[in-house]
Amino acid sequence: MEETKLDEILFLDIETVPAYKDFAALPDKWKQLWAVKASHLARHNETPEELYHRAGIYAEFGKVICISVGFFDMREGRMFRIKSFGGDDEKEVLTEFGKLLEKHFNQRKHRLAAHNGKEFDFPFLGRRMLVNNVKLPKLLNLQGLKSWEVKHVDTMELWKFGDMKSFTSLDLMTTLFDIPSPKIDLDGSKIYEVYYKHHDMPSIITYCQNDVLALAQLYLRLKGKELLTDDEVMLVG
């Protein structure tokens, strides 16, 4: 943690949903494949239809609808800039995100940061890029790399101190460290409904941006640094 400068890290969060609106909309082959997956997920004899809202957390059955990123600009003081890529066209979202990485975060010194990123965000993005035939940027192309060569920072992993037993949510971490959270009537469990029933992309993007800010604030606390003030945060584009 001490070796990486703030402006060498790209903080990110993603929002995902099932690739289709509901189980009935799936092509027959995909219904069969989800039924197999659902049989391993069921705990109380739930049907594949009842479990389909969970498909969005699996890269084989889900898609990316929003990627929000944040980076520190240290040229004149400290400024945290947040940018989002969101929409229905997953390939376009992934392509634009990949272009950002290739243009601005393509050196050996650069890092990607997320909360539980090693288990979710990073592999999900890499897998969906392959599915959509989008070129993998250097920071997501892990083929042939040793574990110590992977340039990923995971705030949940930093918090574990070697403990492998538990999951600690970003919401719990920000509450624990008394990090201010913007007020918005939305949480991760509602993304499916907000997207497919209301198609409220602005709310989803705002929620994703708030998580990126919370992630950066948590990283600052883990580094023993002062939290960002409102004046140090800027939305880009």
69 touches 211 (CB < 8 A):
no
Select from 68, 58, 63 the least CA-distant residue to 33.
58
For 50, the 3-state DSSP assignment is helix
pLDDT of the residue at 163: 82
The CATH number of the domain covering residues in 6-19+61-226: 3.30.420.10
Residue 229 Cα to chain centre, angstroms: 23
Residue 2 has pLDDT above 60, yes or no: no
50-64, 74-88, 146-160: segment of lowest average pLDDT: 146-160
Q: Percentage of the chain surpassing pLDDT 70?
A: 97
- Region 39-47 average pLDDT: 91
How many CB atoms lie under 10 A from the CB of residue 196?
16
The domain spans of the chain are 6-19+61-226
pLDDT of the residue at 1: 46
pLDDT of the residue at 188: 76
Distance CA 31, CA 49 (A): 9
Strand order in the sheet with 152-154: 152-154, 111-114, 9-18, 62-73, 79-86, 233-235
Residue 126 has pLDDT above 60, yes or no: yes
SS3 content of the chain, % helix, strand, coil (to 5): 45, 15, 35
64-78, 84-98, 152-166: segment of lowest average pLDDT: 152-166
Residue 150 has pLDDT above 50, yes or no: yes
Angle at which helices 121-131 and 90-104 cross, to 10°: 110
pLDDT of the residue at 183: 61
Average pLDDT of the chain? 92
* DSSP codes of every residue in 117-186: TTTTHHHHHHHHHHHTTPPPPGGG--TT--GGG--EEEHHHHHHTT--S----HHHHHHHTT------S-
How far the first Cα of the chain sits from its last, in Å, is: 30
pLDDT of the residue at 144: 77
